[in-house]
Chains A and B, each alone.
Chain A
Amino acid sequence: MQMASRNKVIQRSTAPPRASAIRPGILLARVRAGISWRRTAERVIGALVGFGLLVLAWWIAANYLGPERLPAPNDVASIMFRILSSSAALQSQEASGGIGPGLAYSSEHVLLGVALGAAIGIFIGLMIGLSKVANEILSSAIEMIRAIPPLAAAPFFLIWFGTSGTGQLLLIAFYAAVMVVINARAAVLHLDPVHEAFAATLGANWWQRVRTVVLPAFVPEVIGGIRVALGFSWGIEVVAELLGSQQGIGHDFVLLSTALQVDEIIAAIIWISVIAAVVDRLYLVMTAYFTRWVPARAQ
């Protein structure tokens, strides 16, 4: 009984899904607690039942709505791999027969756009973090710019930079930069000035204060901001391409919609989701190193 409750507490403390939660020490403790196998089995069975229910619900809804509105899950599953290289609706319109090239094009834009935006955002964020005056001047400007819904900026970027790709790329960069700056600013605001004053009292010079006080507060928040931007950018890219692009998965969506290919649209959405999820997990693994010192649950 006591063992069970202790195990529960341990599990609770790892609850938030963040990079730093993956710590071998905790896994080891759970294995030593001895009951983890039963819990793992419960989790796996629960998940399997859950996914089963999801597919069942989809299947029932598909039977009810009919294939031209919602195709059955097995019909979508059967075209998942074929659609990457060949789709009747796309073949009649453009040379590349499937959604593969479109997915690659859009993914490249998202990754490049977020990388560019993150670089700009980190630069402005550091300025805010290091200079009080910069923080106060830029705060009101940032509050105003963040009130612009990211998609409302889309038509501007498409007019200014064209629909051939640059517009979409810079739109994502803009969004990512705003996201990073907002998070960086939150880190600075939440940082108790006592810490920096204390470090200064102990004789830390400017660089030592930045390295040991400001940056540790800064890095996890910025990494979190980039992750949010990365997650949301996939949708922004799709909508920006739907508004007028001759390439990319958004353009493929236009063609598939005109041809009323619901099954292929669903398959394409699943592919984007898979790519977005894989990129997200890769990002977590890559950034885990920088936040390895952050406790599993910041309290």
Chain B
Amino acid sequence: MILSTLSRYRKLLLSFAGIALVFGLWEAEAYWLAATYKYGSDLLPTIQHVFSISLPQMARFGSENAKDSFLSGIVVLLDHSRYTVLRLVVGTALGAFIGIGLGLAISINRPIRLVLEPPILLVRNIPLLALIPLFSLWFGAQEVGKIAYVAFAIAVMLVINTVQAVANVRAIYVNYARTLGASAPALYRTVIIPSILPELLAGLKVALGVSWAIVLAAEFLMANEGLGKLLILAQTFFDVGRMLVIVLVFVVYSLILNAVFDRITRVACKWLPATK
């Protein structure tokens, strides 16, 4: 008991040391650059510069003659987050719905699977981010283009994930249910969907990471608002401080999103025997 508490403290201390290591290296590098090069502080500002100067400066992205302040800086960040998070969540949800639905439809029937799986695997070979010139030509800065791009990428990933998850269900479970007289809908409801759920959620988590990349690429190149657009704007001003503020916001969002997702996974897979 005492031993486990002690080792927990040790663990906490060491993980704190890890975070301190990252920020310490950042700070040391910033001071070294500022001392060595004339414009070194532009390459990597210190942590206190990022929080006390760059964060209020975010206000300038809101309106031309806004005064720098923490409050208006945060308001601008939240305002643009709205677009980014909306694109991410709506696109991912739409893509997951289409992808998982199509994957299940394909898995139901062997002839359909034999016909539809090869072209989907072929499409999967396209590096998703390489499609951006096409989407940007088709949709320009229209909102629907960005959501369609995210949805397409997620759907393509999840169709294959779903088909493979269904194929991985142990034949003995399916045969057993069939022997007991389960109809096709009952088989899906009681055997296949519960047993593919963990694999499906794991696939969705990977897809969520890809969603971030797609949304960012889309905002870099085909948007007038959103955090990705702000990042590129700050880059054109060579303002690494404000870029770092935006990246820290990204880190916070993706940590929150991952935590929410893990929580959903835990609840959805409660019936599974613990693996660890």
Evaluate contact between A47 and B118: CB separation under 8 angstroms.
Answer: yes
How far apart are B20's CB and chain A's nearest CB, in angstroms?
A: 9
Interface of B is mostly: helix
How far apart are B251's CB and chain A's nearest CB, in angstroms?
A: 5
Q: How far is the CA of A74 from the CA of B133 in the complex (A)?
A: 21
Evaluate contact between B115 and A9: CB separation under 8 angstroms.
Answer: no
Residues facing B in A163-178 (CB within 8 A) are none
Evaluate contact between A53 and B125: CB separation under 8 angstroms.
Answer: no
Evaluate contact between B255 and A51: CB separation under 8 angstroms.
Answer: no
Count of B interface residues, CB-CB < 8 Å: 61
Contacts of A144 in B (CB 8 A): 19, 22, 251
Evaluate contact between A235 and B127: CB separation under 8 angstroms.
Answer: yes
Contacts of A242 in B (CB 8 A): 132-133, 220-221
Evaluate contact between A148 and B247: CB separation under 8 angstroms.
Answer: yes
Contacts of B128 in A (CB 8 A): 235
Evaluate contact between A266 and B217: CB separation under 8 angstroms.
Answer: no
**Chain A CB within 8 A of B6 CB:** no
Evaluate contact between B111 and A46: CB separation under 8 angstroms.
Answer: yes
Evaluate contact between B127 and A232: CB separation under 8 angstroms.
Answer: yes
Evaluate contact between B220 and A266: CB separation under 8 angstroms.
Answer: no
Evaluate contact between A69 and B118: CB separation under 8 angstroms.
Answer: no
Q: Are A12 and B167 CB-contacts (below 8 A) given A139-B18, A273-B130?
A: yes
Evaluate contact between A156 and B127: CB separation under 8 angstroms.
Answer: no
Contact of A265 among B11, B115, B134 (CB under 8 A): B134
Contacts of B210 in A (CB 8 A): 232
Contacts of A138 in B (CB 8 A): 18
Evaluate contact between A50 and B117: CB separation under 8 angstroms.
Answer: yes
Contacts of B125 in A (CB 8 A): 273-274, 276-277, 280
Evaluate contact between B118 and A137: CB separation under 8 angstroms.
Answer: no
Evaluate contact between B251 and A140: CB separation under 8 angstroms.
Answer: no
Residues facing A in B1-18 (CB within 8 A) are 10-11, 14-18
Residues facing A in B216-275 (CB within 8 A) are 216-217, 220-221, 228, 231-232, 234-235, 238, 240, 243, 246-247, 250-251, 254-255, 258
**Chain B CB within 8 A of A133 CB:** yes
Q: How far is the CA of A139 from the CA of B164 in the complex (A)?
A: 31
Q: How far is the CA of A51 from the CA of B255 in the complex (A)?
A: 40
Evaluate contact between B235 and A155: CB separation under 8 angstroms.
Answer: yes
**Chain A CB within 8 A of B180 CB:** no
**Chain A CB within 8 A of B114 CB:** yes
Contacts of B119 in A (CB 8 A): 50-51, 53-54
Q: Are A137 and B164 CB-contacts (below 8 A) given A155-B231, A242-B132?
A: no
Evaluate contact between B209 and A269: CB separation under 8 angstroms.
Answer: no
Q: How far is the CA of A265 from the CA of B137 in the complex (A)?
A: 10
Q: How far is the CA of A274 from the CA of B228 in the complex (A)?
A: 29
Which of A93-101, A208-216, A254-262 contacts the other chain? Answer: A254-262
Contact of A141 among B19, B209, B238 (CB under 8 A): B19
Contact of A149 among B115, B171, B216 (CB under 8 A): B216
Interface residues of B (CB under 8 A from A): 10-11, 14-19, 21-22, 43, 111, 113-119, 122-123, 125-134, 136-138, 164, 167-168, 171, 209-210, 212-213, 216-217, 220-221, 228, 231-232, 234-235, 238, 240, 243, 246-247, 250-251, 254-255, 258
Interface residues of A (CB under 8 A from B): 8-9, 12, 15-16, 42-43, 45-47, 49-51, 53-54, 69, 133, 136-142, 144-145, 147-156, 158-160, 231-232, 234-236, 238-239, 242-243, 253, 256-257, 260, 262, 265-266, 269, 272-274, 276-277, 280
Report 14 cross-chain contacts, Cβ distance below 8 Å, ordered by A residue.
A8-B171, A46-B113, A46-B114, A53-B119, A137-B14, A141-B19, A147-B251, A151-B213, A151-B220, A235-B128, A262-B137, A265-B137, A273-B126, A273-B127
- Beyond known contacts A150-B213, A238-B127: 6 more, CB 8 A cutoff: A153-B247, A232-B129, A242-B133, A257-B136, A257-B137, A269-B126
